[in-house]
Amino acid sequence: MSGFNNMLHFVGVVEDAHDKTNSGRVRVRAFGIHPPRSSAIDADSVPTAHLPWATVLDGTYGVSPVIPSVGDWVFGFFIDGREAQQPMIMGRLPGMHMQMPSGSGQEGEDGMLPPESVSKFGKPDLHRYQGGEGASQGQTLAQRVFSNTAIPQADGETFDEPPIMMPENNYSNTVVKSKDGDNFIVLGSGEDGENSDYFLISHSSGSVFQIDANGTIFVKAFADKYNTTQGIESTYVRGSSHSTIDEDYTLKVGKSGKISVNGRLDIECTDFSVRAARNINLDAGVKVNISGAGVGMYATADDINLVAKTNLKALSTLGGMYFKCLMPGNIAGDGGDFHVDSYKTNLYSVSYTKIHSTGLPAISKQTLPFPDVGHLGIDISSKTSMRLDALATMNINSTGIMGISAVAAIGIKSTATLDIHSTGLLGIGTAGILSMDGTLVNIGNGTAAATGALATTSITASIAPQLIQKATGAVPNISLAEIAKVVKPQEITNVVTPEMPAVTKRWWHGITSIMRSDDD
C-alpha cells in the first residue's frame, strides 16, 4: 500500500539546489534508498541528475522561506511510499558539516558530502550573532575598524558614531540571514542582557541600520545613499540638528523655498554667491550692515536707488569720493547728468575747490528748471543774494567778454589801490551825477601807462597761486582719475540638475499614459 497512508521517511544530503523552474526544489540523495554517487561507470550508481526533485515544505507560509543549500542534511518523506519518486523535505539537520569535509570518505558511504559544500566545513550552525563565534568574519570587523570618531560639527563640537553591536552569545536572538550568512537581520532580545535589546540590519558591504537598546537609530552607508519620496516628506527634530559634509553640498528646489529661524542665522564660507532670476530683497527690522575689504554694487540694466528716512551719509577714510557720469545725452532721453537737490547745500574742502566745464553743448530733452539743449559752460544762479568771499586773493578772468550788471546799485571798493584800465576804449557814464574825488585827481598827462601797470600788478598778484595754470592759457582738466570698476558677481557654476532615474521615468510615462487614456 502506498501514498499518504504509507509514507516512507528518509534522511539525506542535498546535492543540487538549482531548480530551473524557480520552484525552490532540491535534489536529495536519501541514505539507504538511493545508491551512492560514483565517478566511475557503474550500473548500480545513480548520478545527481537522476535524483528526483524534492519539494521543500515552508512553515513560514511564504513570509521567509529558506531553500536548503548543497551539502545540507535534511529530513523528509516520500509521499508515494516505497516508489520513492515524490520526496518532500520537512526540515534540516544542523551541524553535519562540522563532522567531515566535503569529499571525505569513500564513494558509497552515507557520510560522503558533495564537493560543492567545501566552504561550509567547520562552520558553526548558529549564526555569529547567536553563537558568538566568528566575530572577525564578514563585515562586522570592518564596521568597527572604519567607525568615525571626533567628527566636527558646524557649532564647533564633535561627535562619535554609535558603535555597531558585536556578536555575542545571545542565543535568544532571532536572526534572519541569507544563505551565505553575509546579509542578515538581528532581532536582539533583552533576555541576554541590558545591551542586547537591539535591532540590526547588516549588509555584506558594511552598510548598516541599527536601533540600540536606548532607541538610538544609526544608519551608515559604505557606498552611496539615495532618498526619494513621491509624496510629502516631513522631518521634526525636537532637539538640535547638525550636518557635517566633507565635500560638496547641493540643494535644488523645483518651486519656492522658505527658511524660517526664530533666533540667529549665521552663514560662514569662503565665497558666498546669490543669484536670482528676478529680484533679491533684503529686509531688516533694525539695520542692514555690509562690511568687506571692498564693496561693489553694479546695476546692469537699471538704476541704483539709495533712500534714507533721515540722513544719507558717505565717508571715505583714506581715499576720495568719485562720481562719473559722462555718457552723452540725446533727444530721446537724458544722459550724463549730475543733480544734487537739497534744502541747504554746503561744499567744504581743506585744500581747494575746482569747478570745470569743457564747454560742450548739451543735447537733452530736459526742460526743468529751464530747457538745457545747447547749454554749455557754468551757470551759477541765486533768486536772492549771492556772495563771493575770499580771505586772500580773488581773481575773475575771462578771455572773452565779461559783463557785470545789476538792476540796483553796484559797489566796488578797495582798501588799497583800485585800478580800472582798458587797452581799448573805457567808457564811464551815468544818467545822474558823476563824482570823482581824491587828494589829487589826474586826467590825461600820460597817466594811462601808470594805471595799466598798477592794474597788471594787481591782477598778477590776485592769481599768484594759479600762475602755473594761467601760463598754460587753458583751464586745467579736473576729470576723475579713479574710475568705478565693474563688480558684477561671478557666475555660479557646477549647478547639477539630476536626471530622472530610469525607473521613475517608466513610472511617470505609465501614469501620463493612463491620464491621457482617461482624457480620451
* Angle at CA of residue 168, ends 166 and 172, nearest 5°: 120
Q: Does pLDDT of 115 surpass 70?
A: no
Is the pLDDT at 86 greater than 90? The verdict is yes
Q: What is the pLDDT of residue 211?
A: 93
Take residue 487 and report the three cell numbers written for it.
563688480
Cα distance between the two ends of the chain: 66
- Taking only the tens place, the pLDDT of each residue in 230-255 is 999 999 999 988 888 888 888 888 88
Instruction: Identify the CA nearest to 54 among candidates 70, 38, 43, 37.
Output: 70
Give the pLDDT of residue 102.
Answer: 41
Say if CB 73 and CB 96 are below 8 A apart.
yes
More confident residue, 494 or 314: 314
One-letter amino acid at 370 equals F
Domain 3-125: assigned CATH number: 2.40.50.260
Tell me: pLDDT of 448 over 80: no
Among 97, 90, 132, which Cα is nearest to 115's?
A: 97
Mean pLDDT in residue range 337-349: 83
What are the angstrom distances between the C-alpha of 283 and each of 46, 124, 288, 411, 506? 88, 69, 8, 58, 45
Helix extents (H) in 104-165: 128-131, 139-145
pLDDT at 207: 93
Average pLDDT over residues 193-210: 87
What's the pLDDT score for residue 47?
85
- Tell me which DSSP letter residue 333 carries: B
Is 210's pLDDT higher than 90? yes
Q: CA 376, CA 371: separation in Å to the nearest integer?
A: 12
- The residues pairing with 210 across neighbouring beta strands, listed in sequence order, are 200, 218
DSSP helix/strand/coil, 89: strand
Closest among 18, 30, 142, 121 to 77, alpha carbons compared: 30
Which segment of 75-84, 338-347, 478-487 scores lowest on mean pLDDT?
Answer: 478-487
Domain 130-220: state its class: alpha beta
Residue 259 has pLDDT above 80, yes or no: yes
Q: Say if residue 323's pLDDT is above 50.
A: yes
Asked if residue 68 has pLDDT above 60, the reply is yes
C-alpha span between 122 and 95 (Å, rounded): 9
Range with top average pLDDT, 102-116, 194-208, 387-401 = 194-208
135 has pLDDT over 90: no
Per domain, the residue ranges of the chain are 3-125, 130-220
Query: Among the listed ranges 52-56, 181-185, 275-279, 328-332, which one has the minimum average pLDDT value?
Result: 328-332
- For residues 7 and 467, the model is more confident at 7
Task: Report the pLDDT value the prediction gives residue 112, as an integer from 0 to 100.
Answer: 56
- CA-based torsion, 66, 7, 13, 17: positive or negative: negative
**pLDDT tens for each residue of 14-60:** 888 888 888 889 999 998 888 876 545 555 578 888 999 999 998 88
